[in-house]
Amino acid sequence: MSSELTLRYGMNPHQTPARLFVAEGELPLTVLNGSPGFINLLDALNSWQLVRELKQATALPAAASFKHVSPAGAAVAVPLDETLRRAYFVGDRDLSPLATAYARARGADRISSFGDWIALSDTVDVATAELIRPEVSDGVIAPDYEPDALAILQAKKGGGYRVLQIDPDYEPPQLEQRQLFGLTLAQQRNTAVPTTADLTNIVTQNKDLPAEAILDMIVALLSLKYTQSNSVCYATQGQLIGVGAGQQSRIHCTRLAGSKADLWRLRQHPRVLELPFREKIGRPERDNAIDQFLLDGLTQAEEALWQQQFSQTPQRLSPAEKRAWLDDWQGVTLGSDAFFPFRDSIDRAQQSGVSYVVQPGGSIRDEGVIEACDQYGMVMVLTATRLFHH
């Protein structure tokens, strides 16, 4: 280890010089392969904190798929059923708990995960490396790697795949600093790690909060902690299924995350699972074809290009068929990094199977939001802890 890592450039190619360094001691990072860039390191250090805290809070292996300093997906190791195995393209292969967590994280929003940065809470095994191998990804960070798993990853991208090892015992100083426009901001680190103890203030008439929903709330809250604000996410089965990040309006966060959650659900429709792809189609092309299959209003040129991905033209789902599939869905958790100022987010969330809501509360309109949850029979928990991240 050393105290400094020289980077090719900063946020953009014209921003030179650039480096990663510590004022005292040694870096907790070791580059095992490739050459990470400035943005890679922003994703790596944010995503590592997320999976470390997910493992700490749930005692389950955790994984995250990061793009532009927010998670496209994050998950803990909840076993996959046959439908999700098909939707996530893992087939009948033997998955370790860590590989299961990564399959869920990558499967949340495969379009957004294209070219992701991966974070893994545990030693990377061969099963996980084999899942990563065919995916388009920029790099990975983990506390350790099995020798055979490391060899698989070092062979990606013609030997240029970025592989970072981080000291799992490293703890940063309590005071963090950031320079902006030549000025230095300082604050205490956000050390809040949500646990079941933070989920006791149930304010709705329905107070039935099962263990599965508690797990989803913890996954949602920790993911929001490392998502660019404003942020809202939908979670189920121990994973994110839709993230709305960096929006100025909370309802726009909710709509964006809800549309992604709907696509996650629609990808499991039997007609999607049986799409007649042509032979040897690449994974990115397959992901894009599924996304376009579920979209309405393609142009004639887009439609012609889309049809080239199939051995025969598939029958599209009608709007009514999509709505019927989505209506037969419940048990989803909606999480928010700050309070809902209006009930509109609850009304939108109800269309995407939301049965549970977790948020800080504290709005002068909390009563109206609670009333909306009661109308839909939802359970809502107020945590009193805001989780902004900028």
Please say if 269 is a catalytic residue.
no
In the chain, where does the domain assigned CATH 3.40.140.20 lie? Answer: 4-166, 193-266+326-382
The CATH number of 275-316 is 1.10.287
Please say if 260 is a catalytic residue.
no
Residue 216, Cβ density class (10 Å: 0-12 exposed, 13-18 middle, ≥19 buried): buried
Please say if 68 is a catalytic residue.
yes
The verdict on pTM exceeding 0.75 is yes
Tokens of 317: 């789902």
- Position 1 scores a pLDDT of 62
- Position 297 scores a pLDDT of 79
Please say if 230 is a catalytic residue.
yes
In the chain, where does the domain assigned CATH 1.10.287 lie? Answer: 275-316
CATH 3.30.390.30 fits 193-266+326-382, yes or no: no
> Which residue among the candidates 67, 156, 225, 269 is catalytic per the annotation?
67
Asked whether the beta carbons of 268 and 274 are under 8 A apart, the reply is: no
Tokens of 168: 């799992």
Distances (CA, A) of 350 to 75, 136, 337, 343, 377: 22, 34, 19, 11, 10
Instruction: Quote the CA–CA distance of 292 and 74 in Å, as a whole number.
Output: 24
pLDDT tens across the length of the chain (390 residues): 688 999 999 999 999 999 999 988 899 999 999 999 999 999 999 999 999 999 999 999 999 999 999 999 999 999 999 999 999 999 899 999 999 999 999 999 999 999 999 999 999 999 999 999 999 999 999 999 999 999 999 999 999 999 999 999 999 999 999 999 999 999 999 999 999 999 999 999 999 999 999 999 999 999 999 999 999 999 999 999 999 999 999 999 999 999 999 999 999 999 999 999 998 888 899 999 999 999 887 888 888 888 888 988 898 899 999 999 999 999 999 999 999 999 999 999 999 999 999 999 999 999 999 999 999 999 999 999 999 999
Pick the CATH number of 4-166 from 3.30.470.20, 2.60.120.10, 1.10.10.10, 3.40.140.20: 3.40.140.20
> Which residue among the candidates 68, 157, 252, 322 is catalytic per the annotation?
68
> Which residue among the candidates 55, 156, 230, 269 is catalytic per the annotation?
230
Rounded to 10°, the helix 38-58/211-225 angle is 150
Instruction: Quote the CA–CA distance of 19 and 8 in Å, as a whole number.
Output: 8
- Position 298 scores a pLDDT of 81
